[in-house]
Amino acid sequence: MSISYAYEVALRGPVDNAEPLSAWFLEGPAEALSGLPALVSLDRYVPIAGPSRDPYNNDGAGPLMLLMLNFPSPETLGTARSAIEAAFQTLPDAVAATGAGFKRILYPVGEDDTPAPLEAPFSYVVRYHRPADDEVLFVQNYLATHPQTQAKLPAIRSILCYVPINDIPTGRRLADPDYMVGNEVVFDDAAAFGAAMASPAREELRAHYREFPRFTGANTHYPMQRSRLFGM
């Protein structure tokens, strides 16, 4: 496994706002965020048109844009958090933002012993929201079962889990999305993802889902296109 620390900003609004939001972001916040001290990478995610090809989930339109800022330590993330959130205090009309800090875990795939770099552009972004009967047990169970089986999905390129960190010592300016745990599986394209969703490993993942400790929060699944704006 490889561990880093990430801050997610999710921007939501009417679908018609997607292009104006993109222009606004690239003309303003993108430059400020790219200059943050200790920033390792800045990735932008936007929705992919069409169905997800997941036989068990179709959650409709996701965020208009998802920004993921990656840092080497919780301390560097904590130092940057106020500046990140300040960049989104003034938003285009009808757009709302949430912010969340994570411990980000990158897992090996296939027969590899070490994780490969996050390079492929198709991401299936999954988030589980509170509450659960026992949140600690739920997250422990998820991390112990799901990534290991996801590694069996054909043509998978990367697996990431996101565990919220709530003790970053700065004031919150963006709304809390109330995540319990997050996941991201990465493929070269939608066709590769579709083939993986039709595989026996997808059925095994569904069996895991049915055995999760009880939770009553939402869980969302969004196919998104990732592009790297800063970093290697």
CATH number, residue 205: 3.30.70.100
How many domains does the chain fold into?
1
Q: Which residues fall within 8 angstroms of residue 12, CB to CB, at 6 or more apart?
A: 63, 64, 95, 96, 97, 98
Cβ–Cβ < 8 Å for 156, 109: yes
Q: What is the CA radius of gyration of the chain?
A: 17
Structure-token pair, residue 131: 């509450």
pLDDT tens digits, one per residue of 117-149 = 899 999 999 999 999 999 999 999 999 999 999
Q: What confidence tens digit (pLDDT) does each residue in 73-115 have? A: 999 999 999 999 999 989 999 999 999 999 999 999 987 789 9
pTM (two decimals): 0.95
Give the structural domain span for 130. 2-230
